[in-house]
Amino acid sequence: MNTEPLLQYISKYIDLTKDETAILLSKLVYRKYLKGQYVLQQGDVCKHACFILSGCTKTFYMDNKGQEHIVVFSIEDWWASDVGSFITQTPADYNVLCLEDTELIQFSYEATEVLYIEIPKLERFYRKIIESALAASQKRIVHNFSLSAKERYLIFRDSYPKIEQRIPQYMIASYLGITKEFLSKIKSQLILEQ
Amino acid sequence: MNTEPLLQYISKYIDLTKDETAILLSKLVYRKYLKGQYVLQQGDVCKHACFILSGCTKTFYMDNKGQEHIVVFSIEDWWASDVGSFITQTPADYNVLCLEDTELIQFSYEATEVLYIEIPKLERFYRKIIESALAASQKRIVHNFSLSAKERYLIFRDSYPKIEQRIPQYMIASYLGITKEFLSKIKSQLILEQ
DNA sequence: AATAAATGTTAAACTAGATTAATATCATTT
DNA sequence: AAATGATATTAATCTAGTTTAACATTTATT
């Protein structure tokens, strides 16, 4: 497995010695999924936090009316998992599905528990990642309340230009919390405006 | 200051020795606010993570149309701060205002940095808290998309029965992301139904 | 190249929730 | 007990976003 992207990523937060790096890598598992495969299905326990090397996933929730709601898209150098399920080892609320062939590195729950003890620094690393994810999540709640669908779309487009091009429009609508028809309307409006 | 509630709370996640507890307490500051006072104002840097001993705060965001959006209510045994601002030490997006006279324990940013080094176990403690907060925040995003205002109100009422009684209805409406008039309508509907 | 499958657009009718505005209730102060 | 300010209700009108349904376009498959 190509561990460079992960080590690079970790080094932004903490410094690992050679020995520590060796321990870390010995606990990790490489896994490749094909487009259309599930990394996690709601109802199953999320046994791995996954660091994406290549490809793209959507994390979504299927409500009791059978409607799909996309929580987040994940691409290279980011994570895919159901945090709630992973930390409590209880059934997941979310599905993680590959939108492209996807290579990732799995941190199993057991491995993280051991790693936190063997390399306490990793607590700090993981804490920092989760802190930023929480800040982003809270900002999204506020945006959903205070901004119109059009404003939210513009922010999404600016924040994730790379993602927009790789993903069908109806999924972006689901991420924004609107229908595909309405997103289509917004886009044609934007074209008229400029 | 009465440190019992905090120590009790921490002990749910990690075990501290007497020495560690002493170090921890030596870095903390007790602070009392009156009803109506700000613990944090948007634009200021969030210099403290605050553990609430008594009282109640609202964390809210004032949008550019002058509208207030409540992100969270915090009471005894919970935290109040702007995580994003605190971890990056950049200006806050949120305000934290006391809805009652409020006693709290301040963890300054500098103190937490020192404490993480002196008592590495605290990384684990804080990581776990943040993880649950993230899981809760993600669940809220999905709820806001997939549930009607009425369903969201019922979930709020069930999840935070203690909070509902202490807080004016128009603030609960703001937390739910609806107008006070519409919440009023929902409540009268619920009365008719039963 | 032809067909099927997936994705995107348009427009009309509809609804959850917002806005406005008037009135009612409750708590606090004088 | 009257008066003030804060909170809550009700009803009419309005709008952002949904639903339904028909059609258009792009992509993948044979």
pLDDT per residue as tens digits for the range A27-50: 999 999 999 999 999 999 999 999
For A81, the closest chain B residue by CA position comes to B135
Q: What is the CATH number of the domain that holds A48?
A: 2.60.120.10
Q: pLDDT value at position A185?
A: 97
Contact between B136 and B128 under an 8 Å Cβ cutoff? The reply is no
**Residue A76: inside a domain:** yes
Give me the percent of chain A exceeding a pLDDT of 70: 99
Q: For residue A194, is pLDDT > 80? A: no
A134 to chain B, any CB pair closer than 8 A? The answer is yes
Please give the residue of chain A at the shortest CA–CA distance from B145.
Answer: A177
Cβ–Cβ pairs < 8 A, chains A and B: 98
Is residue A19, in this structure, part of any structural domain at all?
yes
Ranges A1-5, A45-49, A73-77, A189-193: which has the least confidence: A189-193
Give the separation between CA B184 and CA B194, rounded to whole angstroms.
16
pLDDT in tens, A133-142: 988 888 888 8
Residue B183 located in a structural domain: no
Sheet holding A95-98, edge to edge: A38-40, A95-98, A56-62, A68-75
Report yes or no on A33 lying in a domain.
Answer: yes
List chain A residues with CB under 8 Å of B140.
Answer: 141
Secondary-structure percent of chain A, ordered helix, strand, coil, rounded to 5: 50, 25, 25
Please name which of B48, B133, B125, B38 lies closest in space to residue B85, comparing C-alpha atoms: B48
The mean of the pLDDT values for chain A is 94
Residue B129 forms part of a structural domain: no
Number of domains chain A is built from: 1
Q: pLDDT confidence of A25, banded at 50, 70, 90?
A: very high
Contact yes or no for A130 and B127 at CB 8 A: yes
Asked whether strand D has any atom less than 7 Å from the CB of A182, the reply is: yes
pLDDT in tens, B61-113: 998 888 999 999 999 999 999 998 999 999 999 999 999 999 999 999 999 99
Is the pLDDT reported for residue B117 higher than 90?
yes
Looking at residue B176, what is its pLDDT? 96
- Residue A128, in any domain of the structure: no
**By the 8 A CB rule, do B13 and B122 touch?**
no
Q: Do residues B57 and B80 make contact, with C-beta atoms less than 8 angstroms apart?
A: yes
Instruction: Judge whether B124 and B63 are in contact, CB under 8 Å.
Output: no
Q: Name the most confidently modeled range: A133-147, A170-184, B137-151.
A: A170-184
- What pLDDT does residue A111 have? 98
Contact positions of strand D to protein Cβ (< 7 A): 6-12, 16-21
- Does residue A89 form part of some domain? yes
Q: Is residue B37 part of a domain?
A: yes
Rounded to an integer, the average pLDDT of B120-139 is 90
What is the extent of the structural domain holding A68?
4-121
Chain A CB contacts of B92 under 8 Å are none
